[in-house]
Structure 1
Amino acid sequence: MTPASFRPVINRVEVVMPVHDEEHHLGPSLHALGAAAEAVRRHHPAMAVGITVVLDHCTDGSPDIADRFAGSWAGSGAGPSTGVRVLHRRFRNAGASRAAGVAAALGEAGTGRLQRTWLANTDADSRVPEDWLVRQLEIADAGWDVVLGSVEPDSAGMDPELVRSWRLRHPLEEGHANVYGANLGVRASAYRQAGGFPPLRSSEDRALVEQLRRRGFAVTATDTTRVLTSGRTVARAPHGFGAYLRALGVETAAALRSS
């Protein structure tokens, strides 16, 4: 698929991050996200940037971490161009959390504003690169409606054989075939037309992208916005990234035993 011949220039970015008991990862994740927001302010001083953190049924220290992050932005002199929202919900559902975050970020925005708003999605156990949003904006302004970024699990503490197996199956390259909620960007108008994130506990990202493709929106996949995510194999969502890594680990171990 090729980019659209014309799309309105983006003038607002809204980032959504769902959180469920992520006190061990949330601080570094928000720090990295803050650095990405600062990069946008340097490259596009007139760009409005919003960050929405959705605390979904959290029972650990995640709310305190999110509140401190929001407070640091409120007191940093960031001005009206950058704002942080912290929502408290009890879904225990990744799709519902993402959808609630987007709904809060967009409010009652009309069609004209939606066409100029970019939605960037990531996870609370992931660290985005500093140029994450800047690069997505470049791609959006080139005519793309959807950006599928790549993800690499943090190898610290992972079985080296599992890391090797994952990399063999998920080459970090342009035009990759993967969809990750931890690294997904979409024009807000396209998101709305596709029906948004469905209330699925996992694979809500794939379901959204499938609808976007069905409706003919311009989708591109890139490794230039690579996100580092947790390499844990204790799953937070059924059939999610952690569950996949655990299954791949079992398969890898079985293959090594039989070799």
Structure 2
Amino acid sequence: MTAGITHVVVAVPARDEEALLPASLRALSAAVAVLEAARPDVRVAVAVALDGCTDGSARVAAEAGVAVTTLAGDGVGAARDAAVARGLEVLGAPEESTTWLACTDADTVVPPRWLLRQVRWADQGLDLVVGTAEPVGVDRPEMLAAWHARHQLVEGHEHVHGANLGVRASRWREVGGFGPLRLGEDVRLVERVRAVSEQWVATDTTRVLTSGRSRSRVGAGFAGYLSDLGTGTG
């Protein structure tokens, strides 16, 4: 039987997210507090990877007191892996089979029980938790309607969002992490983990709220997808 989780790394990539990062980090702080109240034996590190930022994102992260690593615009896959690596470093390179990696985005707000729910699944032996993400602040009703027509916010859903993923650190290591992909790094990680483990769940109970802007910070990703929906190409 898999041992219980002893450490958690929260990994957050950021590219010029000065405006939205504060709310994201406040929500993560609340989720950490809920986890620590229920599981004071679990150590947690929140790490932000600043990927080619030219705004005040570094100041926001510093004020929040989270761990930080800096990249020169290497892309979201590399940034997610760098944030994970920084978090593991802060925690003193813990045993990875009992370490959980919770991944989200700098423009995303997680619910208070986000971490606690993931850790409870991990304690039961799951290696992967694939959550849902709902866009907010979409400025065109037809774009939001098109998104909901293509997404089911239910248990057992078929979607993958880097803004709402949890994976056992040993599995992340085994499959080579997110890798240097600039797009689709989340989908590829999930595919590789599912290929080596049947212990996973796709759930709506950890739903996060993510920015519904249609202009991407990284040229594609979730914002690019929404933009495509608005033009009928998604």
* TM-score bracket for this pair, using the shorter chain length: over 0.9
Match of 1:22 in 2: 17
Match of 1:257 in 2: none
Q: How do residues 126-205 of structure 1 correspond to structure 2 at under 5 angstroms?
A: 126-154=108-136, 156-205=137-186
CA RMSD of aligned residues (A): 1.6
1:120 alignment partner AA: A
Runs of 4+ residues over 4 Å off in structure 1: none
1: CA distance, partners of 2:47 / 2:103:
10
2: CA distance, partners of 1:10 / 1:61:
34
Match of 1:206 in 2: 187
| Deviation, structure 1 residue 236 | 2.2
Deviation readout 1:110-130 (Å, 9 max, x if unpaired): 6xx111100000000000001
| Deviation, structure 1 residue 104 | 2.0
1:109 alignment partner AA: A
1: CA distance, partners of 2:197 / 2:39:
29
2: CA distance, partners of 1:51 / 1:222:
23
Is the aligned partner of 1:8 residue 2:3? yes
TM-score by length of 2: 0.94
Give me the identity figure in percent. 47
Question: Please, which runs of 5 or more residues in structure 1 have no aligned partner?
Answer: 1-5, 71-83, 253-259
Deviation readout 1:179-232 (Å, 9 max, x if unpaired): 111000000111111111110111111111111112234221000000000001
TM-score by length of 1: 0.86
1:67 alignment partner AA: A
Question: Please, which runs of 5 or more residues in structure 2 have no aligned partner?
Answer: none
1:44 to 30, 39, 47: 39
Match of 1:88 in 2: 70
Is the aligned partner of 1:120 residue 2:92? no
Structure of larger gyration radius: 1
1:221 alignment partner AA: A
1: CA distance, partners of 2:197 / 2:138:
41
2: CA distance, partners of 1:66 / 1:109:
22
**Bigger Cα displacement from structure 2, 230-239 vs 195-204:** 230-239
| Deviation, structure 1 residue 157 | 4.5
Is the aligned partner of 1:60 residue 2:55? yes
- Contact residue 15 and residue 218 of structure 2 kept, 8 A: no
Partner of 1:152: helix, strand, or coil?
A: strand
Partner of 2:191: helix, strand, or coil?
A: helix
| Deviation, structure 1 residue 142 | 2.0
1:235 alignment partner AA: S
1: CA distance, partners of 2:219 / 2:16:
16
Is the aligned partner of 1:109 residue 2:104? no
2: CA distance, partners of 1:27 / 1:92:
23
